[in-house]
Chains A and B, each alone.
Chain A
Amino acid sequence: MSNLRKIDLCYPNEDLYWILWTSDSKDEVLSYDTITTSQCFVSDAEPIDFYTDREVWKNVLEENGIDPDSPFPPDSKKEVLEN
C-alpha cells in the first residue's frame, strides 16, 4: 500500500467503477467498488483504475476470479441452500 496520491471526487456525471490493485503490476485485485452519481469518494490508495463501463470493469474482475455481483467476497463459502 502506498500513499502517493489522494483521489477526492464528488458526484460524478456517471457511475464510476474502480479496482485497487496490490501493486503496479496489476496482477492481483486488492479491492473494488462502485461510486454512484450521488456519492463521493476519497482514497489515498493506489494504483486504482477507474472505469465508466460496468461491463469492462466486471470483465477485468472476472478475469481475476472475482464475481462483482456476488454479495460474498471471492474467498467465502458460496451459498448452498437446501430446502
Chain B
Amino acid sequence: MGIGIGIGIGISPGASAGGSTPAAPPELTYVFEWDGFSQATASPSGQTYDVDWGDGRGLLTGQVNRTRSAYSGAAQDYTVKISGLTPSANFPYLQPFMSQAGFAQTSRVKEIISFGTSIEWQRIYDDLGNMILITNLNFNSLKLAPPPQAGWPFNAFFNYCSGMSNLQSIDFTGWDSSRVAKGIYNPFTNCFNLSSMEWDVSQDWSGLGGDGYVYLVFINSNDSNQKLMTTAQYDTLLNTLATSAPSGINGLLNVGPVQYSASAATDRQTVASKGISVTDGGQI
C-alpha cells in the first residue's frame, strides 16, 4: 500500500526524578484496566523515573529500568502516572506496560488521560514488543488525550498492532488538529485482525496545513481492502477539508477502498484543488 512522506519526530527532555512529589507533572497518565492477576510493568531501558501505579504504594521515585505494579484483590481500573522519563537514542518509544508473559493478557490501557508535555510519544509498546492494545476481548474503543503540544506526530501510532478485532472507534474528542504534525499517517500499518473502524473525523481539521503539509492516510497496510471509516464519515471528512483546509498546500488523503457519496463529489474536487491528492474507492 502506498504511503506519503513528511513527519519529523522531535523529542525533548523529560522531567527529572526524585523527591516526594514529581518535579513536573506526570509525563504520562493512563487508565489501566487490570484483569485481576497480571501486573503492569514499566520497562524504559536505562531510565530513572517516578511512577505511581495507583496500587496504594504512592509515588515510587527513582525507579530504574523495569518495575511492576502490585495490584491485588478484585479486578478494577487503576490510574497510573509516570514522570521523569528522558528519551534516549534507544528509547524513542515507550514500552511501559502490559501483563507479564505467560499470563492471560486481558489487562489493557483503555484511556490515555495525558501524554504529558515533554515527550512526544510516537507509539506505546508493552514489554513484549506488542502494542498496548493487544488481546482484549471487550475492547471496542479507545479514548486518546489531546496532542500535548504543537508538532505532535501521529504516524504509524499503532504499528504492528494485533488482536484489535473489537476496536470499532477511536475517540479524538478535544484534539486540536493544529497540534498534529502534518496529519495522521499510516496509523494502522502492519496491523492484523482489525475490525471495521470508525473514525470520528468530524472535528475541525483547519489547523492542519500550517506547516504546508497535510497527510491523512487511513489505511491498514496489512489489508488494503479494509475500510477504516464509513462512507458517511468520509463524506464528512471531505466536507471539513473542503471548507477548512488552506489552499496551496501539499497533501495526501488516502482512505483505501472507502467510497464517497454523490453529494460529496464537489467537496472531493475542492480538496484536490487545494493541493491535497485524494485516493479512495470512488463514488458509490
A-B pairs with CB below 8 Å: how many?
134
A83 to B94 alpha-carbon distance, docked (Å): 11
Tell whether A81 pairs with B272 under 8 Å between CB atoms, given A33-B279, A71-B156, A71-B159. Answer: no
Q: Are A39 and B250 in contact (CB under 8 A)?
A: no
Whether A43 pairs with B278 at a CB distance below 8 angstroms is yes
B4-12, B111-119, B135-143: which lies at the interface: B4-12
Say yes or no for B174: interface residue by CB 8 A criterion.
Answer: no
Chain A residues within an 8 Å CB radius of B156: 71-72
Say if the beta carbon of B90 comes within 8 Å of chain A.
Answer: yes
Contacts of A81 in B (CB 8 A): 93, 95, 125, 129
Minimum CB–CB distance from A59 to chain B (whole Å) comes to 16
Q: What is the CA–CA distance of A11 and B248 in the complex, to the nearest angstrom? A: 27
Report yes or no: A71 in contact with B8, Cβ–Cβ below 8 A. no
CB of A45 within 8 A of CB of B155, answer: no
A34-B1, A73-B155, A76-B8 known; A42-B272 Cβ under 8 A = yes
By secondary structure, the A interface counts as loop
Among listed B18-26, B67-75, B185-193, interface-contacting one: B185-193
What B residues does A76 contact at CB under 8 A? 7-9, 122, 153, 155
In Å, the complex CA distance between A50 and B273 comes to 19
User: Nearest-CB distance from A79 to chain B (Å)?
Assistant: 7
Interface residue? B82 (CB, 8 A): no
Q: Is B58 an interface residue (CB 8 A)?
A: no
A1-B275, A31-B250 known; A71 and B128 CB under 8 Å?
no
Chain A residues, Cβ within 8 Å of B252 = 31, 33
**B173 located at the interface, meaning its Cβ lies under 8 Å from any Cβ of chain A in the complex:** no
A30:B250 contact, CB within 8 angstroms: yes
Q: Which residues of B contact A (CB under 8 A)?
A: 1-9, 11, 45, 89-93, 95, 122, 125, 127-129, 153, 155-156, 159, 185-186, 189-190, 215, 221, 224-225, 248-252, 254, 256-257, 268-269, 272-275, 277-283
Which residues of A line the B interface, CB within 8 A? 1, 3, 6, 8, 10-11, 17, 20, 29-36, 38-45, 66, 68, 70-77, 79-83
List, sorted by A's number, 15 A–B pairs whose CB atoms are closer than 8 Å. Answer: A1-B249, A32-B5, A33-B254, A34-B1, A35-B2, A38-B225, A39-B256, A41-B279, A43-B278, A66-B5, A68-B2, A75-B6, A76-B7, A76-B122, A77-B92
For the A-B complex with A33-B3, A39-B281 known, give 13 more contacts whose Cβ atoms are closer than 8 Å: A1-B249, A3-B273, A31-B6, A34-B2, A38-B257, A39-B280, A40-B282, A45-B250, A71-B3, A73-B3, A80-B89, A81-B93, A83-B128
